[in-house]
Structures are given as structure tokens and as C-alpha cells.
Amino acid sequence: MLVWLASYPRSGNTLLRQVLKACFDLPSCEGLEPVPTNFREPDGIRDEFYGSYFVEGDPDKFYQHALDTTDVVFIKSHQLPRDNEKAIYVVRDGRLALKSFVKFQENHHSNASTFESLLVGDHAYGDWTSHYRAWSERPRGETLVLRFEELVEADAALLEQLACFIGRTGPLRPWVNPQAELRAHDPAFFGSGNRVWKPDEFWTESRLRAFDTLHGSLLVELGYANGAEVEATAYPAGSDQERLLRLTHRLAANSANLQRVCDERHAALVRTQRVCDELAAEIARLAEACQERARLITSLHQVCAESQTALNAARQRLQATEQQLQAAQKRAGELEAQSKASERGMSRLPVFGFLRRMVRG
């Protein structure tokens, strides 16, 4: 059984995996989507604190295995939903998540993204609001939505909620947050973990106005901001800035949708090519088997021909032997006839008559 561990980037996905490992002793994997190369290097911290392992071999086969197995397989994902399997979704204040995501991109994917591109969703993962809506409002499939700030403490009630959702029974270990130790190990990856947003130098007036214009309604819906504050900060409805920003957002969404279609078709082509390669390899194996059998048949034909030649020679020898035997039998008959004729001739001689009379007398 597959259970997705989903979130917009930098929203607490790794924290959720730590809770699953520490309290339930459950590992989780990643690798169905691009992962920085250095993240795949052996790291005792990942093994110890969140039981991380990476997909090896064909991702499609691993995904199918996760669907088919009766064991629970937890898979990390920042992508949009691809099926109706169970999911645990972590949501965080979008202002905190986006700031952290921008810094992460600067550290690991330099020049790949900007604040503006991530704000409007010009990225494979889309924008903060659309990502949340896609997972939390799936028409089918169970989704448990957890808040980042709740996971930081992960009390007994939250752990029981998790256990019920994943069908886990039995005693649970209490959660002890190891973020201080993890930040000391890798401060670039494990950030400050702020639970409450506060204005800072990152959030210039223009950035905050743009964010509240596009994502303020979800901030209010989730309780991360109040409506009056968002309305005061966002660009006025109908203003040139608001229209331009929303147009850019729609264009980015359309571009992302087209890219997903292209990616899906490319993935289908890759799968088709893989099947063709497998069939070609099977054809090659069958051709080799046929050639081997053809060589065996040729060898058998040669053996049969040699055996037929030997059989013909044996027949000829047998015929010659039979002819010799017939000649010998004929000669024996002739000798026997001659013997009888000689015996009759000798019986007429006087000496034989005398001898017969002596015997009789």
C-alpha cells in the first residue's frame, strides 16, 4: 500500500518523516522525482532520524510495487497528485515556506528559480496555493492535512491521528524534536523552523503585496493572517499591478500544465522505448536460440547422413556376406553330391564286394 508524504517544498515534509521514524519506526523513501546528487550520498543522520532510503532501479517498477504490496510504503513527494492513493499533506504558512524554498534553490539549484517565478508557480511544483488545493481538494483519495506548527510539537493526539490514518496499532514512542542537533549537522538544509511568520528584510513591500494578492485568501482561510491585513497589503482589485500579476500567474499555470503534459508524454515514450528494448532483447535471445537449434539440426543432419552411409556400407557388406554364404552352400551341395557319386562308384569295385561278403559271412 502506498501512502504519499506530500507538501509544498520547505513546508515540513522531512519533519513528518522524522516523526514517522521516531514514533512509529517507519522508514520512508524518495527518488520518484529529481533529487540533488549529493542528497543520495550515504548519510547516517538521514538513516537515524528519518529512515530515509532512495528508489533504486526503475522508478516505474518501484511505484507499481508500492501500489501492489500489502506493506505500507511511504513516499516523499513535492509534485502534484498522480493517483488516488492515501496521502499525508503538510501545510505551512506560505510566506515561511516560500522564503525557505527561495534560499534552498539558491543553495542547490543556483539560477534555476527566482522569488518571482516561485511566487507565480513557474516551477514543476506549481505555486503554494495551487499545490495545497490540488492535494487537499482531491475528488478521490483520502488526504490527512497536518500543519507544520503542529508537527513541531507532535503531541499524543496528533500521533494518535497519524496512527489511525495509517492503520497502526500498538504503543507509540513520544516525540522528541531533534531539530537543534540536525541544524548543527547541516544548517543549510535544516533551517530555523519558524512556526510564526514575522516581517523581515526578505519580505520587501513589493514582495509582500504580490504574495498577498495571489495567496492572501489561503493565508486567511488557514488562519495564518486576517482578512483586513491581507486586503490592506494586496494590490487593489482591478489595478494594473493586480491584473498583470494574475495574468502572469495564469500564464505560469498554463505553462506548467503544458510542461506536465509534455513530461507525461515523454515518460510514456521512455516507457514505450523500454518495452521495445526489452522486446528487442527477447527477439535477439529467441534468434540466438533459433540459430543454436539450426546448428543442432545441421549437426544432426550430418550425423544422420554419416549413419546412413555407414548403414548402406553395412548393408552392402551383409549382401556380400550373404552371397558368399550362398556360394559356400552351393559349393557344399556340389561337394556332397560328388561325395555320394564317389561312394556309389566305389561300391561297385570288387574289393568292396568282397568286404561286404566278409562282413555278412
pTM, entire model: 0.76
Cell of 314: 553395412
Please answer whether residues 137 and 80 qualify as being in contact, where contact means their C-beta atoms are separated by less than 8 angstroms.
no
Q: Which band of pLDDT confidence, cut at 50, 70 and 90, is reported for residue 111?
A: confident
127 assigned to some structural domain: yes
6 assigned to some structural domain: yes
Q: Which band of pLDDT confidence, cut at 50, 70 and 90, is reported for residue 36?
A: low
Among the listed ranges 130-134, 137-141, 336-340, which one has the minimum average pLDDT value?
336-340
User: Which secondary-structure segment (H or E) carries 107?
Assistant: helix 94-108
Please answer whether residues 246 and 254 qualify as being in contact, where contact means their C-beta atoms are separated by less than 8 angstroms.
no
Residue 349 confidence (pLDDT):
65
35 assigned to some structural domain: yes
Q: Encode pLDDT of 231-264 as tens digits.
A: 999 999 999 999 999 999 999 999 988 988 998 8
Q: Encode pLDDT of 165-186 as tens digits.
A: 999 988 899 999 887 788 777 7
145 assigned to some structural domain: yes
95 assigned to some structural domain: yes
Residue 39 confidence (pLDDT):
64
Number of domains in the chain: 1
Q: How many angstroms separate the CA atoms of 85 and 343, rounded?
A: 117
Q: Residue 286 pLDDT more than 80?
A: yes
CATH number at residue 103: 3.40.50.300
Q: How many angstroms separate the CA atoms of 276 and 91, rounded?
A: 42
82 assigned to some structural domain: yes
Q: Structural domain of residue 137, as residue ranges?
A: 2-195
148 assigned to some structural domain: yes
202 assigned to some structural domain: no
